[in-house]
Copies of this chain bind each other. A is one copy, B any other.
Amino acid sequence: MTMVVESENGLHVVGTTPTRPDGLDKVTGRATFADDIYLPRMLHGKVLRSPHAHAKIKAISTRKATALPGVHAVITATDFPEPATAIESLGEGGMVDIKDLADNCIAKKRVFYDGHAVAAVAADNPHIAEQAAGLITVDYEVLEAVMDVQSAMADTAPVIHENFTPGSFFAQTEKAGPNAGRLEFSGGDINKGFSDATVVVEREFITQTVHQGYIESHVTTVQWDNDDRITVWTSSQGHFGIRDQLAGILNIPMSNINVIPLEIGGAFGGKDSVYLDPLAAMLSKKSGRPVKMAMSRNEVLRATGPSSGTHMKVRMGANDNGILLAADISFAYEAGAFPGGPVAAGILTATTRYNIPNYRLEGFDVILNKPRVKPYRAPGATQSHFAVETVMDELAKKLRIDPIEFRLKNAMKTGDRLVLGFPCPAIGGIELLEAVKSHPHYRSPLDGEKRGRGVAYGFWYGGGGVSSAELSVNADGTVQVCTGSCDMSGTRMTLAMQAAEALGIAVSEVLVKTGDTQSIGYTLPAWGSRTTFATGIACITVAEKVITKMIERAAGIWAVDFENVTFNSGVFSDRNDSDHSFTFKELAAKHDSTGGAICAQATVSPQGVGFQLAAYLVDVEVDTSTGKVTILRSTLFQDVGKAVHPDYVSGQMQGGVVQGLGWALNEEYVYADDGTLSNTTFLDYRMPTALDSPMTETVILETPNPGHPYGVRGAGEVSIVNPPAAVANAIYDAVGIRMNALPMSPKAVLEKLLKHDAAEF
């Protein structure tokens, strides 16, 4: 059930809920996904992966594999050229080290994690390819595996990369210890802050590695032509990034590569990097045939990019009035086998929603023998919110202040600077927290044994950046808009709605297409909740260009000045002659006789995606005999600026909550002592199913984002950040134990309960 606080702004299309054009085809599988690609003479590729978490490769023999009938090509790292030296925009927000990326796709001298690709085979069918991969013999010298951040940061830890360039999303880091980079942001006087504080809470937290768990695995088909032109059909959330990374790894011109986007069966941040694509490309080059490769779930969990496990320390202090005075946090985030994890985003979102005059935010980007981490919905923030919002709850309890009141006292408001360093643009934090306070869920009593209520308040930046759109008007008045953004979350519709709004026509008249990298202007991946925002602005901009051209056509037909032609909600009129009037359709039909087709293009790079705020309210019941936590009631409050399609926004909010509950209660990578992953299927890696997922009520608030013509702010990510903390707070409210590790599985909860009971004697 969705509740929208409607804003009166004269929008005709934005804010409505038309049926998505591709829904039925997507759910019936009729839509074209990456695995639906078949090419003549196509081969199938398989990867040989490391069974060790950390080892030297002393020798590889591919002789037997190559000799197997039906095998057309076998490759190892030696088949690849030196990667191109990094250039601007390699597609992972520009932060990717192309050499690391190449090394991650196929191991050179060492394997850095269980599942690291070592060799690949292309054969007539997947079975022969798999058999051949099994015939490749690798001589390993097994090395000590480093499996958690504490041991990785120890001075005595084995050095994983002799010389690595410390880095992290959003920020560079300085080298700190054998396997870590460090960064810090601070302000005010941390010592004075704590000395003035009358209530201080200091806690440590642990979270485990978790995967985005997209249902569709990684699938790619690559054709390498005789003239070194490469066509790639692949499932990604950013096909320009895939192209740029491929160009770098294969060291060939970007223009030679055409990446054709396909429908996506989930991504959540995990599908903007190449894994199979360079292998399929090299196998295609070597065999002279197109090559298709698809990962099993085992490969997806072992060898693609999960989110970081962490070790987090939080110390926060407030005065008796419940005013926060100081925060000192030190977060160590897993980067996986190569530097570049989300720790900067983690510490920068840890306390940003509060005004805390004195703070020190320290982060460590820690290399260890796990797969290279990737963004996962509000990357880094879910971990940091688990820590900080639990401490906030404990502070509120100590201060005997209602947790919402406590957050209201300290909430960042429009214009506040502090951690941001610049005045916060229009933001609806206060309205959001007030909405929680006055909501029936918050006001209703919670009866029953072992039941508790928890709340958490969250923040996420979101992203803007480069998007392109091309718009063509057809003779029948219909319109197609081609953009560089794939549809991960219904954006095919939300972009059509924004174009239709600007053109003053019905959304059913607008077809939105995702163009391949040779057909459309550069567009950053669908990440940072940017597509509906930034690509939306590209669609509005190109629509306005088209309207300008059509006004010129109308002026020409009527032989009047451009200035005399007005355009209002789809109708072109002559100020001075009421007989002069065209609907959009009527004028479109005249294009041939007025100078030919009407088309326009726009490449924009808007910033100011608008910060995302959300509050999550949850009621739980704890089974003290098993430790099982059951969700009784779930409500998410979120400010989205303007909900272009409220149903989709609710879907994003509910999806984020379910994923957050997965982090909270079940999901974790379980590693054996030798550093190999033990739970490599969805039976063992326990994501919430429909049975585990409560109905989440969504409350959409709309504080317009000044950075978007219709007030849209990103809406896709912040929903995930609160559930772990809110559930932990609810568990405390229910049974009086403070959970300080994720997941809060029955086993973990039961252990805490037993310790707790013991302590009470």
Chain B CB within 8 A of A466 CB: yes
Q: Is A611 an interface residue (CB 8 A)?
A: no
Quick check: is A299 within 8 A (CB to CB) of the other chain? no
Residues on B with C-beta less than 8 A from A589 are 87-88
Question: Binding site of A, secondary structure by majority: helix, strand, loop or mixed?
Answer: loop
Do A511 and B518 contact each other (CB < 8 Å), given the known contacts A475-B88, A599-B468, A603-B597?
yes
Scoring A residues 218 to 233 as 1 if CB is less than 8 Å from chain B, else 0, what string do you get?
0000000111010000
Name A227's contact: one of B22, B258, B479, B592 (CB within 8 Å): B22
Closest to A225 in B: B25
B472 and A470 contacting across the interface, CB-CB below 8 Å: no
- The answer, yes or no, to whether A737 is at the interface (CB within 8 Å) is no
Residues of B within 8 A of A32 (CB): 39
Q: Which of B226, B256, B465 contacts A511 (CB 8 A)?
A: B256
How far is it, in angstroms, between the C-alpha of A520 and the C-alpha of B593 when the chains are bound?
A: 21
Contacts of A598 in B (CB 8 A): 603
Interfacial chain B residues near A595, Cβ < 8 Å: 605
User: For A25, what are the chain B residues with a Cβ–Cβ distance below 8 Å?
Assistant: 225-227
Asked if A476 is an interface residue, CB under 8 A from chain B, the answer is yes
User: In chain A, residues 99-146, which have Cβ atoms closer than 8 Å to a Cβ of chain B?
Assistant: none
A38 to chain B, nearest CB (A): 4
| A352 interfacial by beta-carbon distance below 8 Å | no
Cα-based distance from A468 to B519 in the complex (angstroms): 12
Chain A residues 135-163 with CB under 8 Å of chain B are none
Residue A15 interfacial (CB < 8 Å): no
- Given known pairs A226-B30, A227-B22, A227-B25, the reply for A592 and B89 (CB within 8 Å) is yes
Interface presence of A480 (CB below 8 A): yes
For residue A94, CB closer than 8 A to chain B, the reply is yes
Question: What chain B residues lie within 8 Å of A56 (beta carbons)?
Answer: none
User: Is A759 interfacial (CB-CB < 8 Å)?
Assistant: no
For A450, the chain B residues whose CB sits under 8 A away are: none
Q: How large is the interface on A (under 10, 10 to 19, 20 to 34, 35 or more residues)?
A: 35 or more
- Report the minimal beta-carbon distance from A707 to chain B, rounded to whole angstroms: 16
- CB-CB nearest in chain B for A94: B592
Min C-beta distance of A355 to chain B, whole Å: 33
A600: interface (CB < 8 Å) = yes
Q: Would you call A515 an interface residue if the criterion is a C-beta within 8 Å of the partner chain's C-beta atoms?
A: yes
Cross-chain contact B478 with A255 (CB below 8 angstroms):
yes
Q: What's the nearest-Cβ distance from chain B to residue A294, in Å?
A: 14
Check B603 against A28 for contact (C-beta < 8 Å): no
Mark interface residues in A233-260 (1 if CB within 8 Å of B CB, else 0).
0000000000010010000011110100
The reply on A591 being an interface residue by CB < 8 A is yes
Contacting B at CB under 8 A, from A439-468, are 465-466, 468
A672 proximal to B (CB < 8 A): no
With beta carbons under 8 angstroms apart, the residue of B247, B258, B519, B521 that contacts A597 is: B521
Closest CB of chain B to A491's CB: distance in Å?
16
- The minimal Cβ–Cβ distance linking A257 to chain B, given in whole angstroms, is 9
Contact, CB under 8 Å: A87 / B38:
no
Residues of chain B within 8 A of A480, CB atoms compared: 255, 517-518
| Residue picked from A39, A226, A474, A603, most chain B C-beta under 10 Å | A474
Contact of A466 among B247, B516, B522, B597 (CB under 8 A): B597
Interface contact B520-A227, CB-CB below 8 Å: no
Asked if residues B600 and A247 are in contact (CB atoms below 8 Å), the reply is: no
Contact B603 A470 (CB under 8 A): no
Q: Which 5 A-B pairs have the closest CB atoms?
A: A601-B601, A522-B597, A521-B599, A255-B478, A596-B605
- The 5 sampled A-B contact pairs (Cβ below 8 Å) are A25-B227, A38-B40, A253-B509, A255-B479, A600-B601
